[in-house]
Copies of this chain bind each other. A is one copy, B any other.
Amino acid sequence: MTEDGQDAQDEGRPRHPLTGRAESTIQARLLTRLRDDGPLSRTQLADSLEVSRTTIAVEVGRLGELGLVHEVGPAASRGGRRSTIVDLHPDLVFVGISIGATGMTVGLTDGRLAVRAQRSCASDVREGPEGVLECAVALARELLAEIGVERPVGAGIGVPGPVDFDRGISVSPPIMPGWDGYPVRDVVSRALGCPALLDNDVNVLAAGELHAGVARSSRDFLFVKIGTGIGCGLVVDGRVYRGVDGCAGDIGHIRVEETGPTCACGNAGCLEAFAGGAAVARDATTAARSGRSPGLATLLAERGVLTAADVGQAATHGDAVALELVRESGRRVGQVLASLVSFVNPGLIVIGGGLTGVGHSLLAEIRSVTYRRSLPLATGNLPIVLSELGDEGGVIGAARLISSSVYAAG
């Protein structure tokens, strides 16, 4: 709507997903400001959004009627008439659903994305979307009942595979048979009675880092997830950048060699087929069977199968072969990151995902190669750090993405 109430001019404008009314960038900016900066006085809101106090009063009134904001008392006097402090409404709750290959975490956040309740459980994406999403929705409902909120204002969902962001569906996910084309977003939206949004796990984690992680003060950074596979979230000017088809950040399938082991995607030579967690486990198993590493052979005999975490453990205990496998992964990832650093000149790189459990050997190798191969100007002040967020990273990230959409700033 226009700020002076000429609603007749609204026709043709996009509708706000929550209110059904024409989108107002002023409302969106106001809500986002309260989300990121906390309670502000009407005067501060008018100043920072560069609109009149009258406009702020009108918009705060409207958002109040919608139950999105409320007034919490008078501001400290700056001389003259006192302003009023505005905050997001305490009943405003987002659901964040973070689905991994073998487990999920579901959480609730308030309007400023602080986690109010969270629960994790085991689940296997290979069993298909119906069961997994039923479980996620059941967890969300339990948590909502516990805090006494009937209906969340939005739900964000992250899944470990490619996503058609605009349509809210999974697309040919290699490790998620049965999910291809499944309307994840709409199923969750219907079940919880609120708008929902689906993204891949790496973008969700990048959004989590942006809001509550080591990247909180950074507006331009890369989040690199090294798990079973490898992916990258690209944050540009404070927003997750998805590219024109929504598949930006798919660095796991950058071809680093002309030939090589076959990747989960069907091609050969992909980064993740050399350096992902599955590749490290595969090479460790080969080394154990060939007798090159007695340590890995013992682990394999004990457990029947080796994981990347086992390799990390062996490396930590001084197994030379395991250590070399970790370093080789870091070297490959660093080579690709060096190119990306020359290309986008980020301010920070955050490394996350399961393989980071192997500790600082991986990080040290990534740092060494990335710094050595990038231009000095781009790496002069480029921290490369491990993520410090646990399971709540996915919850906060998913909540952040849906909040931006609900607040219409996304």
Beta-carbon nearest neighbor of A164 in chain B:
B377
Within 8 A of B (CB), among A231-251: 232, 234, 236-237, 241-251
- Asked if A141 is at the interface (CB within 8 A of a chain B CB), the reply is no
What distance in Å separates the Cβ of A342 from its nearest Cβ neighbour in chain B?
5
When chains A and B are docked, how far (Å) is the Cα of A380 from the Cα of B251?
17
Whether B26 pairs with A345 at a CB distance below 8 angstroms is no
Whether B232 pairs with A220 at a CB distance below 8 angstroms is no
Whether A343 pairs with B345 at a CB distance below 8 angstroms is no
Q: Number of A residues whose C-beta is below 8 Å from B?
A: 54
- Asked if A154 is at the interface (CB within 8 A of a chain B CB), the reply is no
What distance in Å separates the Cβ of A2 from its nearest Cβ neighbour in chain B?
6
Beta-carbon nearest neighbor of A162 in chain B:
B377
Whether A50 pairs with B3 at a CB distance below 8 angstroms is yes
Whether A247 pairs with B377 at a CB distance below 8 angstroms is yes
When chains A and B are docked, how far (Å) is the Cα of A378 from the Cα of B236?
19
- Asked if A346 is at the interface (CB within 8 A of a chain B CB), the reply is yes
Stretch at the interface among A105-113, A183-191, A333-341: A333-341
- Asked if A254 is at the interface (CB within 8 A of a chain B CB), the reply is yes
- Asked if A46 is at the interface (CB within 8 A of a chain B CB), the reply is yes
Whether B346 pairs with A343 at a CB distance below 8 angstroms is no
- Assuming the A-B contacts A236-B236, A255-B338, A377-B171, are A345 and B247 also in contact, with contact meaning beta carbons closer than 8 angstroms in the complex? yes
What distance in Å separates the Cβ of A51 from its nearest Cβ neighbour in chain B?
6
Contact of A248 among B4, B9, B247, B345 (CB under 8 A): B345
Whether B342 pairs with A250 at a CB distance below 8 angstroms is yes
When chains A and B are docked, how far (Å) is the Cα of A381 from the Cα of B245?
9
When chains A and B are docked, how far (Å) is the Cα of A3 from the Cα of B380?
42
Whether A253 pairs with B4 at a CB distance below 8 angstroms is no
Whether B250 pairs with A343 at a CB distance below 8 angstroms is yes
Chain B residues whose CB sits within 8 angstroms of the CB of A243 once the complex forms: 220, 344-347, 378
Whether B9 pairs with A26 at a CB distance below 8 angstroms is no
When chains A and B are docked, how far (Å) is the Cα of A347 from the Cα of B253?
19
Beta-carbon nearest neighbor of A10 in chain B:
B47
- Assuming the A-B contacts A243-B345, A338-B254, A344-B241, are A47 and B2 also in contact, with contact meaning beta carbons closer than 8 angstroms in the complex? yes
Whether B9 pairs with A47 at a CB distance below 8 angstroms is yes
0 or 1 for each of A252-263: is its CB under 8 Å from B? (1 = yes): 011100000000
- Asked if A217 is at the interface (CB within 8 A of a chain B CB), the reply is no
When chains A and B are docked, how far (Å) is the Cα of A162 from the Cα of B376?
13
A residues sitting closer than 8 Å to B (CB atoms) are 2-4, 6, 9, 24-26, 46-47, 50-54, 162, 171, 220, 232, 234, 236-237, 241-251, 253-255, 265, 335-336, 338-340, 342-347, 373, 375, 377-378, 380-381
Instruction: Return 25 A-B CB contacts under 8 Å, by A number.
Output: A3-B50, A4-B53, A6-B52, A9-B46, A9-B47, A220-B244, A236-B236, A236-B237, A236-B241, A243-B346, A244-B347, A244-B381, A245-B380, A245-B381, A247-B377, A247-B378, A250-B343, A250-B345, A250-B377, A251-B339, A251-B342, A251-B343, A253-B342, A254-B339, A255-B339
Q: With contacts A162-B377, A247-B375, A250-B378 known, what are 9 further pairs, Cβ within 8 A?
A: A2-B46, A9-B46, A234-B344, A241-B344, A242-B345, A243-B346, A243-B378, A253-B375, A340-B343
